[in-house]
Structure 1
Amino acid sequence: MSTATASSPDAVTGPTPEQEARRRRTVAWVVALATLGLIFDGYDLVVYGTVVPLFLADATQIGQVTPPVAGALGSYALFGVLVGALLAGSVADIVGRRKVMLTAYAWFSVGMGATAVMSSIGGFGLMRFVTGIGVGALVATTGALVAEYAPAGKKNLANAITYSGVPIGSLMAALLAILLLEQIGWRGMFWIGALPLLTLLPLAFFLMPESPSWLASRGRLEEAREVSERTGVPIISASAPAAGDATAPVRRERAGFAGLFGRQYWFPTLVLGLMSATGLILVYVLNTWLPELMGRAGYSTQGSLSFLLVLNGGAVVAALVASRLADRFGPKPVVVASFVCGAVSLSLLTLNAPLALLLLFVAVVGAGTSGTQILIYGFVANYYRTNVRSAGVAWCAGFGRLGGVAGPMVGGLLVAAGLGLEAIFYVLTGLATFGALLTLLVPVARGAAAARTVPVEPTAPAQQSAGR
């Protein structure tokens, strides 16, 4: 039987080549499925924006949609995300990550399909809210599962790859609307969002395993060892019994939000929630208003949209690069630096620079806003112990979503106040600076220090599948 390594809490001493191969295969499946799920999440949240002009121009679609009504309909999904994320946080720490993720795949797929057949404003808005619940549940749970399967030294990278699915899905929504909206109409665009019910859900049912660390944290050691053996992924748990002592009592700690707001975590939880909210204000102000702001600066419609594409492209590329630095130096200094880069680049957008240079600044702004938010999810997913990890990510996604709801309104208020382009960018610069200061307040994580690896005793021939 292998023994735990004190110096490396995320590895088992002397893993065999077969174990390493099983682990690599499992991690690849988990990250791929999780990323694909968040691509559809990003698509579902942004596809509404691609059909708003049609709703405003044609009352025969779902009824007479005015700009205020269009804004309200857009907010329903975001409120649903908030509700779904907060509900999923406690549920996933109690019933498991796998069950919540499979339910979320089915939930938002059915929601998108139901939205596609709505013929009234009320029905459309209700189904947008319902769909948002599934989206929020998935966003809140994915980071916890990926963090528990990713190998040491690559946890932030794995989360960055996974959460990059959200801006990738946003880009897909825009591109598919350009290519297909006239041919398939808005209903067809929403039916595309229902495809995971027939594609992703069956794959995840057979290939998405439960977290062995979560099983161990709930005292289900035999199941945890079986999953760990089958997948090649060691058990990381602060509450598991000592190596070789399967009969020792399991120390049960408060799970979900009860543990999240306990004595150990209440302060970092508040700060991390505010960090996420600040980041999402920036994300949604820019994604909603950047084309309009650049149009006011004299750029054409196509030119204004190019700024939006560069913004999200810069976020994905920078998050993947920065996540490697976060794995090496820790996420906190990297998130601080990312916020600072965003602040500096936002201030540089006030310069009368050539288009090529402005696009470069916008790419860095994307890195410091949407890219920072991707890093924050990885930061949070790896900050908390297993018993409260889903609740922590849910809090980040749920409470932070208040910033997402507020973002478009903040941008609208700044524009309605008659502020010039430079003044608006300076306000956003201040928000990014505030995000960096909040990050500096996050204390060093203590939960991870107590975590250790539980060795796995062979019980049966290892199976090749990384499924249940």
Structure 2
Amino acid sequence: MRHVNVLDVVDSAKLNRFHYLLVFWCSFIMLFDGYDLVIYGSVLPHLMTEWNLSPSQAGVLGASSMAGMMAGAFTLGTLADHLRRRKIILFCVALFSLAALASGFTTTPTEFTVCRFLTGVGLGGVVPNLVTILKEMSPGTCRNRLINFMLSFFAIGGLLSGLVGIYVIPQLGWQAPFYIAGLSCLALPLLYKTLPESVAFLVQKNRQADVSKLLRTINAQHRPGEPVVYGLEASPTQARPSFKALFGGERAISTLMLWLGFGMCMLMVYGLNTWLPKLMNSGGYPLSSSIGFLVIMNVGALTGTLISGYLADRWGCKLTLVVFFALAAVSISLLGIKPGAASLYALLLLAGGSTVGCLSVIHTFAADLYPAHIRSTGVSLAAAIGRCGAVAGPLLGGFLFSLNLPFEQNFLVFAVPGLIAVIAVLLVAQPRALPLVQQPSEGV
């Protein structure tokens, strides 16, 4: 009986309807991820006025969704290596959709905080699984580009939230953006019907018949013509997902540095998206223009994500991350000098493109670091630990705002994480190929 590595079959596949549908659903979910998280930056000035919030209180409200994402990545994200990844994704979509919708009906900061936390739990659980499932079922020739294309919809969601902040909130109030966020739950019936299960998960559960059927959909050329046993690339001594496995095989330093890189990246992304309008407003820019700057930054985020995916396929994830983190540090620090209009727009585009571009590539970098049987656990825990930075970002912005520092110093503080991330990424070792784990036949 012949043994077949499913990763070889997936790698050699050509893009087809299966991949397009998978990318569509992952991108759809990522769009709402970006929208749900960035919208807080647009409603923040209105909430501070209506509920008479101090900068510190506003920072806590902003951090609540990030704390939820950390909890979601720790729990729902890591459970996917033990339970069905498809089921976890569906549950997360339902949770963040309903929680975001409920945010629009809140009347007190406490109610709003609870809803934002639950929104974050759903988002934190879904994103690592989207990266994992797309990583495991995309052709090798375009895997990074597909993942980054999907992750670019975070920026599209952020862009839409900025436009909603400019045009919808003045007409319908700050609650309206959250009603829009709840629309994602309408897609659940179609998502339930068409979203596939992860092929690596099916192999781990020894569902050989399902693996064979799914591989024929992924790669139409795969016709073994004889009984085969499907296996994964993994270490035989680490056949079960575990936290300890993340530090095995000389991965300890790499795992810790990956976590640090995630944290610094998310601190910049979520700190800026939460406080940019308010910081620019405090620097003398009108509120409408300040929210417009958020839109421009997310236009840059979209462009940067697509470019970073292309470069990651050519340069590799590590070099791409080093370059983009360095660009993030430089561009963010220069925002504080109050440049002319053209230079300001260019710096906003560069800051958005470099920070969110890093956020996209670092997910792929994490997926590359770990073998398939602990990939979802590895990506989820890296994202979960990184959420410490996401929580710190809004809190840091509130703290800086309360100090009444000179305008330029606020941006210098937000630039420092970019330099730390450059060092962290350089210390992550490149992953090594591991032998095939073979599963016993199910009589396929």
Q: Give CA deviations for 1:291-338 in whole Å, capped at 9, x if unaligned.
A: 344445443334433332222211210221121121122110111111
Whole-Å Cα distance in 2 between the matches of residues 178 and 137 of structure 1?
30
> For residues 319 and 4 of structure 1, do their structure 2 counterparts lie closer, same or farther at Cα, with a shift above 3 Å needed?
same
**Partner of residue 99 from structure 1, selected from 87, 92, 97:** 87
1:203 counterpart = 2:195: no
**Is the 2:77–2:377 Cα contact (8 Å) retained in structure 1?**
yes
Whole-Å Cα distance in 1 between the matches of residues 277 and 103 of structure 2?
27
* Corresponding residue for residue 124 of structure 2: 136
1:400 counterpart = 2:386: yes
> For residues 217 and 298 of structure 1, do their structure 2 counterparts lie closer, same or farther at Cα, with a shift above 3 Å needed?
same
* Corresponding residue for residue 47 of structure 1: 39
CA drift of 1:2 comes to 10
Identify which range, 206-215 or 304-313, moves more after superposition: 304-313
**Partner of residue 24 from structure 2, selected from 26, 32, 39:** 32
> For residues 345 and 57 of structure 1, do their structure 2 counterparts lie closer, same or farther at Cα, with a shift above 3 Å needed?
closer
Identify which range, 395-404 or 212-221, moves more after superposition: 212-221
* Corresponding residue for residue 381 of structure 1: 367
* Corresponding residue for residue 11 of structure 1: 11
Whole-Å Cα distance in 2 between the matches of residues 341 and 452 of structure 1?
41
Q: What does 1:204-283 align with in structure 2 at a 5 Å threshold?
A: 204-232=191-219, 245-246=228-229, 251=236, 253-283=239-269
**Is the 1:260–1:388 Cα contact (8 Å) retained in structure 2?**
yes
SS in 1 for 2:141: coil
Whole-Å Cα distance in 2 between the matches of residues 335 and 300 of structure 1?
34
> For residues 10 and 404 of structure 1, do their structure 2 counterparts lie closer, same or farther at Cα, with a shift above 3 Å needed?
same
SS in 2 for 1:151: coil
CA drift of 1:426 comes to 3.5
- Equivalent position amino acid for 1:27 in 2: H
Identify which range, 414-423 or 140-149, moves more after superposition: 414-423
Whole-Å Cα distance in 1 between the matches of residues 105 and 410 of structure 2?
40
SS in 1 for 2:373: helix
> For residues 182 and 422 of structure 1, do their structure 2 counterparts lie closer, same or farther at Cα, with a shift above 3 Å needed?
closer
> For residues 276 and 264 of structure 1, do their structure 2 counterparts lie closer, same or farther at Cα, with a shift above 3 Å needed?
same
- Equivalent position amino acid for 1:208 in 2: L
**Partner of residue 160 from structure 2, selected from 172, 176, 196:** 172
- Equivalent position amino acid for 1:304 in 2: S
> For residues 6 and 121 of structure 1, do their structure 2 counterparts lie closer, same or farther at Cα, with a shift above 3 Å needed?
closer
Query: Where does the alignment leave 5 or more consecutive residues of structure 2 unmatched?
Result: none
**Is the 2:257–2:428 Cα contact (8 Å) retained in structure 1?**
yes
Whole-Å Cα distance in 1 between the matches of residues 5 and 165 of structure 2?
52
RMSD (Å), alpha carbons: 3.4
- Equivalent position amino acid for 1:246 in 2: V
- Equivalent position amino acid for 2:67 in 1: F
Q: Give CA deviations for 1:325-368 in whole Å, capped at 9, x if unaligned.
A: 21122110111111112223234445564320222122112222
Whole-Å Cα distance in 1 between the matches of residues 379 and 25 of structure 2?
18
> For residues 234 and 40 of structure 1, do their structure 2 counterparts lie closer, same or farther at Cα, with a shift above 3 Å needed?
farther
CA drift of 1:7 comes to 12
1:314 counterpart = 2:306: no
Q: Give CA deviations for 1:25-56 in whole Å, capped at 9, x if unaligned.
A: 11111111111111112222233443344444
Q: What does 1:47-446 align with in structure 2 at a 5 Å threshold?
A: 47-58=39-50, 67-199=55-187, 201-232=188-219, 245-246=228-229, 251=236, 253-349=239-335, 353-446=339-432
**Is the 1:9–1:453 Cα contact (8 Å) retained in structure 2?**
no
Whole-Å Cα distance in 1 between the matches of residues 344 and 315 of structure 2?
30
SS in 2 for 1:299: coil
Identify which range, 309-318 or 115-124, moves more after superposition: 115-124
> For residues 116 and 408 of structure 1, do their structure 2 counterparts lie closer, same or farther at Cα, with a shift above 3 Å needed?
closer
> For residues 355 and 263 of structure 1, do their structure 2 counterparts lie closer, same or farther at Cα, with a shift above 3 Å needed?
same
Whole-Å Cα distance in 2 between the matches of residues 281 and 317 of structure 1?
20
* Residues paired across the two proteins, number: 437
Whole-Å Cα distance in 2 between the matches of residues 248 and 145 of structure 1?
17
**Is the 2:55–2:399 Cα contact (8 Å) retained in structure 1?**
no
SS in 2 for 1:84: helix
SS in 1 for 2:80: helix
> For residues 43 and 437 of structure 1, do their structure 2 counterparts lie closer, same or farther at Cα, with a shift above 3 Å needed?
same
TM-score (ref. length: structure 1): 0.83
Q: What does 1:427-466 align with in structure 2 at a 5 Å threshold?
A: 427-446=413-432, 448-450=433-435
Whole-Å Cα distance in 2 between the matches of residues 312 and 354 of structure 1?
20
**Is the 1:171–1:309 Cα contact (8 Å) retained in structure 2?**
yes
- Equivalent position amino acid for 1:231 in 2: I
> For residues 422 and 234 of structure 1, do their structure 2 counterparts lie closer, same or farther at Cα, with a shift above 3 Å needed?
farther
CA drift of 1:156 comes to 1.5
**Is the 2:19–2:138 Cα contact (8 Å) retained in structure 1?**
yes
CA drift of 1:208 comes to 0.9
- Equivalent position amino acid for 1:280 in 2: M
Whole-Å Cα distance in 2 between the matches of residues 32 and 333 of structure 1?
28
**Is the 2:305–2:357 Cα contact (8 Å) retained in structure 1?**
yes
> For residues 295 and 93 of structure 1, do their structure 2 counterparts lie closer, same or farther at Cα, with a shift above 3 Å needed?
same
TM-score (ref. length: structure 2): 0.87
Whole-Å Cα distance in 1 between the matches of residues 206 and 7 of structure 2?
24
> For residues 173 and 295 of structure 1, do their structure 2 counterparts lie closer, same or farther at Cα, with a shift above 3 Å needed?
closer
Identify which range, 414-423 or 399-408, moves more after superposition: 414-423
> For residues 287 and 10 of structure 1, do their structure 2 counterparts lie closer, same or farther at Cα, with a shift above 3 Å needed?
same
CA drift of 1:244 comes to 5.7
Percent pairwise identity: 32
Whole-Å Cα distance in 1 between the matches of residues 280 and 204 of structure 2?
51
Whole-Å Cα distance in 1 between the matches of residues 305 and 259 of structure 2?
20
Whole-Å Cα distance in 2 between the matches of residues 346 and 53 of structure 1?
22
